[in-house]
Structures are given as structure tokens and as C-alpha cells.
Structure 1
């Protein structure tokens, strides 16, 4: 079953899965790189500051072994001296420790990048299961890490043994020289051996860093089902989104139909398109489309306009142009200003004639640029208009 699952996971990890794994504290970390960096940093400290550190420790040792009768007469002499030596020792060791800690942090960041999360510290009771823990202990990854650690320890042990064997006579001869010279010579011999150990660690780090990245990306590989599920989560449930869109369209349609009784004019063609216009010269620079629809919705707009005593004008070309080029709740295009102005003037004159303040106006023939009529363009995407032939006649 595990082999089958591994075979199914043959797709590269997505950025989302990698981000999720980083949030859970899973990163490609190399243990050999920090080891090499720490040894290199320690070697640099000994090379450039070893003499000063040794002089400081020698002075501290001499001060610790200095006694006189006045000091011994004090009851709290030992406690005071111990506190002084401790603080003195901390002043020497603390900067070195901070430097080595920074090197360790920087080497880990170099291998896997910076990541801050508290999830790895959260208790996982599943790890307390001895059966699953036994399985993880003998997993391929842990066995590989164990074999690599054994190989590294063997290589370092062989190098250390060879260095000790080659310089054993020199170490024995140190006993015959004064202590300062013996310490300096021992430091030189240790640095010489540390160089070989550092070379071995560097080789392991050069191999381990890309290896850990490759193993990490292999663990993060995804199956086809996981990719599909992630895409579904990213896009959201299509059924829910469709229902939400339908509700939004219905709410927009209700708002639009509620605005029809406030229109100044409804332009139709006469059955397939309806566009309701409103114009207020005090607040609008041009007439605004407050409702529009095709087919059944156009009939509803017409019926509602008739019930609300809003004038309905049959102008097929203008209705098609407004439906195709004017946006809802937006002002009409500049190219249709002249045509809409004529039909609005007709409406105002008609209202005045019905009130007995003037003659009944003639039906207008608004000028609509031919390129704005969608039925003059193939593939317009608008519903078929059977009234078009009537318009031509």
C-alpha cells in the first residue's frame, strides 16, 4: 500500500503545499552544514583570537590561585572570589557562545531558509503510539539518516585516529616543556588535526545540502487526486459559487426592476430589447441607464413601465444599440447622445401635448451610427431579433 501511494505521488509539489509544510515546521535542513560551519567558526576564533583567549584564561587562573593573609581572614572570601571568577569567565565565554549560536542559526537558514512557527512545539499525541513510532524508526528516511551518521562518525574517527597516531610522539614531548609553550604547541597540533576534520565535514555538507532538498521535494510530491482537490479548494465549490452568482443576479434584477417606475422613458424594439432611461439635468451630465433586459425580462420592463405610466417608445435600432453599448447604472455613450436627446425631447413634447400645452409631436427617427447596431456585426452574441426584417421594410 505504501509503495502504491509512493507511485501515485509523481507530481511536483505545488507552492501552496510547500507553504503549508513550512507553516508546520517542515523544511529541508542539513545537519552536516551546521557541523561544518561551527567547526569552521571555532577554527577561525582559535586562529585569530586563540592567543588572546589563552592569555585571558591564564590571567584568570593566576588570579584564582593568588591568596594572601588579608583575603583569607574574610569569612566570605571563597564566595566572593568564586563570583568574581564566574563573571570573569562569562565575559570570555559569552561572546564566543553568542558568535557560535549566530553561526549555527545562519547555517540552518542557509540550508532551508528562514521560518518562524510554533506548530512543531505543539503536542502530538499520535507520536506517543509505540507502534507508529516503531514504524517511523525503521522508515527508509530514518535508516538513511542513521547510516549517514554512522558513516560520518566512522570517517571522523578514522581521521582523528590517524592524526593522533601521527603526532603521538609530539604530544608526549609536550610534557617536557613549560606550560605556556606546551599550551601553544598543543593548540597548533589540534588546529592541524581540525583542518582534516573540517575537510571531511565540508565534503559531507556539500553532498548533504542538495540531498536534503531533493528528499524534501520528494516527500512533498503530490498525486493527481491531491492536485485536483487543491485546485477545487483554490477555486471554491463550483455549486456554491453558482448559487451565490444566481442570488446576486436576482438581487440586481430586483433592484433594477424597482427603478423602472422612476424612469423617464423606456426604449424597445418592440419585443426583444428594452432599455429604461432616466435624466435629471440638475444631477446628471447625460441620461443614465437604470434598467435593461432582453426577451422575457424586456417584456417585464415594458409591463412595469406601462403600469407606472412611463412612456414606452418603439425604436428598434436605438434599443439594440443601447442594450449592446450602454452599461447598467452608467451614463449612455457619447455617440448616442444625439439619438437619446431626440427621443427625450419627443417624450417631453408628448407630455406637454397631453397636458394641453402644445401640439402632438411626430414620432422621431433618432440617428444611430450603423456601427453601433450589433445586428450589423456578425457574431455579436445578442439574441436573434425577428423585428430586424420589419425594421428594414
Structure 2
């Protein structure tokens, strides 16, 4: 049994609706198009009936008129037929353009304006006869076929009943002159046309909401579909997390690679480690090139010792630098004095090791502001940032 979470009982999201429109999936009612075409076409025929009657009479009279020259030269009959055909096109083409606009307008009324070329792209899976048979007997096609049969049956019944009630009026036109017969036929057909239009209007009133409901039902989503769409829109969280981990690892490697170039490392003594670098020709103040806590602090310490970088134990300064100094940025101004004393001590120590100066004593107490030391009670009222 399928998982209930896979049941497509959730309405389509705005993203899926937009994607469906891009693929040409919109609610289109064929019955609305039929109704609009018959209604507008019938109205135009009724409105222009007198002019059309005179035009047809004129065309018919010209087509049935022959003279001696035309009988002697059959080519003239072809030229007359071509001329009469052009006259017919002058009426038929504008009528066709109007009906085309009616078709477009009716489609927009049911599903809105939507222009896309994706529906024209070839789909080779439709060439498979097995899938074609499956689609042929699908539920949607069977419902559409049943609806078409019902429409044909209803229209046939309406037409048959109308002709049965007006058969004598139509038969009487056979004994009338052509102009009178045309007018009588148009008048007799008008009420029948109204009945057909009313019938089509009823079918369209049912089909338009049905097509919208059908499309909405086809585009319904399961809970898993919603989750997948959210992942697609926002990005897979697992992938994003892996990217973040990878970026942190790369940043950590760059940071550790900068430790051998540092001037000193300040520690606390194992919890925190901050590597500082200072070049008075390029920097306005010492800069933090690496910092870490716990295992990362020990790793910074080991690399510094392997690279012969001085490692000093200055717990308050190490805590303050770790808490308030940013990586690859200059240290806070409040710690300039303390760091300057540490650098001076390191320079003296290097000079002593080179035999250029006496060995310095113990590192003096550093002037670290209490509000910058996380373990100092005054830290609660001081600035906090990492």
C-alpha cells in the first residue's frame, strides 16, 4: 500500500503552476470555443444577412451568365471563375480573421493568455505505440470522448426536433424566387441557430469550471513533492552543509599555512591560541593570521614550534584576542599596548638568542582591559563580538 505521504492531495504551489504554464498546461475549454465561434459567426451572418444575400445573388448571376465570346473562348470562363473567387475571398478572409480572433479570445477567457514554444518541442516517447494505446484509453481521454458524444447527441436531437417543426417552411423555399428563398432560409435558420447557441452555452458553462478543476487535480502535489520543490528552490540543505564544511576546512588549512609566517603565538595556555604578524612597513597594527580553541589551538602551537615561531603564555591577552580580534584583520585598538609589549619582548628574546642583547626577564604583566577578558567580572559590561 502506498505511503499516505505520497498521496497527491495538496494543491499545486505557485512555482509548479508557473512551470506548468511554461510547458503549455493551461485550462482550455473546447466547448467555450465552439460556443463563441457559433455565436459570433451567427450574429455576423444575421447582421450582414441582407448584404450577404445580395452579394450571393450577384455572384450567382455572374456565374450563370454566358455569352457568345465566352463559349468560343473557354479561357474566358476560367478568368471569370478566378475573378468570382477573388470576390468571394474578399468576404471569406475577413470573416476568417474575425473567427480566429474569437478563437484566441475564448481560449484566453478559459485559461488566460499563455505563449510558449515548449509544447511544440518533439517528444519521442509519444512514438511508442504501447504508451500511445495507454494514453488513448486513459481516464481523461475517455471522459473527453464521452463528453463529445453527449454534445453531438444533444445537438443532433435539437437539430432534428427543429427541422421536424420547420420542414414545411424549408420546403416552401423551393417554390420561391432565389432572393426570397435566401431571405426565407436565413429567417427560418435564425431560431434554430439560437437553440444551438443556447445548448453550446450550457455545455461551455459546465466545461470551463470542469477543465479548471481537472488541471488543478492533475497538478496536485504530495507532501514529498512539496519537500522536493522546497529543496530545489532553497537548495539541498545537506549539500549546502557539506559545502560549508568544505569551505571551513579550506579556510582552516589556509589559516594553519599562515602560522609559520607569524611573529608570535599567544596562548592560554592550551584553550586558546592566537598567531600575530606585524610588518611596520605594510601594516598599521599587528594582524591576526590564525586563531583557534582547544584542539585547533594545540595544532597552531605545534606548527609554531616546528617553524620556530615564539609561543608565549599570556592567558588574559590570548582570551581577549580570541574573543574580540577577527581573523586576517588588525587587532582592536584597546589591545595595542598589550600586544606592543609582547612584540617588544619577542624582539628582545630574538636578539638575546642571536647574542646581540642580554636575555630578557619574565614577561611583564600586560595591560589588558578587564572588559575585554571573558573571565573577568568586568567583561559583562564590555563589548562582545567574535
Cα distance between partner residues in 2 of 1:278 and 1:54? 101
User: 348, 366, 369: which is aligned to 2:371?
Assistant: 369
Report the CA distance between 1:38 and its aligned residue. Answer: 1.5
Match of 1:209 in 2: 208
2: CA distance, partners of 1:246 / 1:98: 63
The answer to whether the Cα contact below 8 Å between 2:11 and 2:220 also exists between their aligned partners in 1 is yes
Mean Cα displacement is larger for which, 297-306 or 309-318? 309-318
User: What does residue 338 of structure 1 align with?
Assistant: 334
Number of residues paired by the alignment?
Answer: 373
Q: Distance in 1 between matches of 2:223 and 2:66?
A: 78
How do residues 180-195 of structure 1 correspond to structure 2 at under 5 angstroms?
A: 180-195=179-194
- The range that moved more, 79-88 or 199-208, is 79-88
Alpha-carbon distance between aligned partners in 2 of 1:249 and 1:374, rounded to the nearest angstrom: 31
Q: What does the per-residue CA deviation read over 1:138-189, in whole Å, with 9 as the maximum and x for residues that have no partner?
A: 5443333233222222322233233334444433444455433433343343
Matches within 5 A, 1:193-342: 193-224=192-223, 226-227=225-226, 242-278=241-277, 288-330=287-329, 336-339=332-335, 341-342=336-337
Equivalent positions of 1:1-393 (< 5 A) are 8-15=7-14, 18=17, 21-22=20-21, 25-69=24-68, 76-113=75-112, 114=114, 116=116, 117-118=118-119, 121-125=122-126, 127-129=128-130, 133=133, 136-224=135-223, 226-227=225-226, 242-278=241-277, 288-330=287-329, 336-339=332-335, 341-350=336-345, 353=348, 354-355=350-351, 362-367=364-369, 369=371
- Is the contact between residue 268 and residue 316 of structure 2 (CA under 8 Å) also seen in structure 1? yes
Deviations 1:195-245 (A, max 9, x none): 222222122212211112222332333445555565666676666555444
- Would the alpha carbon gap of residues 280 and 136 (structure 1) be closer, same or farther in structure 2, given more than 3 Å must change? same
Cα distance change of structure 1 residues 240 and 76 upon mapping to structure 2, 3 Å threshold: same
Report which stretch shifted further, 320-329 or 202-211.
320-329
Distance change in 2, residues 1:286/1:218 (3 Å): farther
Determine helix, strand or coil for the equivalent of 1:34.
helix
In the aligned structure 2, how far is the partner of 1:337 from the partner of 1:313? 21
CA gap 1:34/1:298 in 2 versus in 1, 3 angstroms: same
Return 5+ residue gaps in structure 2 as ranges.
Answer: none
TM-score by length of 1: 0.74
Equivalents in 1 of 2:5, 2:201: separation in Å?
Answer: 32
Gap change, CA 1:5 and 1:43, over 3 Å in 2: farther
Contact 1:272 1:294 in 2 (8 A): yes
Q: Is the CA contact (8 Å cut-off) linking 1:30 and 1:209 kept in structure 2?
A: yes
Q: Calculate the aligned-residue CA RMSD, in Å.
A: 4.3
CA displacement, residues 2-29 of structure 1 (integer Å, 9 cap, x when unaligned): x999994434344555556556554433
- CA distance in structure 1 between the partners assigned to 2:124 and 2:344 by the alignment: 82
Superposed displacement of residue 118, structure 1: 3.5
Distance 1:43 1:262, change over 3 A: farther
Q: Is the 8 Å Cα contact of residues 266 and 318 (structure 2) preserved in structure 1?
A: yes
SS, match of residue 129 in structure 1: helix
Residues of 2 paired with 1:186 and 1:282: CA distance?
106
Q: Distance in 2 between matches of 1:256 and 1:110?
A: 64
Give, in whole Å, the separation in 2 of the partners of 1:144 and 1:288. 76
Q: TM-score, normalised by structure 2?
A: 0.75
Q: Residues 35, 366 of structure 1: CA spacing in aligned structure 2 closer, same or farther, 3 A cutoff?
A: same
146 and 352 in structure 1: CA distance in 2 versus 1, 3 angstrom threshold: closer
3-state DSSP of counterpart to 1:124: helix
Q: Is the 8 A contact 2:70 2:77 kept in 1?
A: no
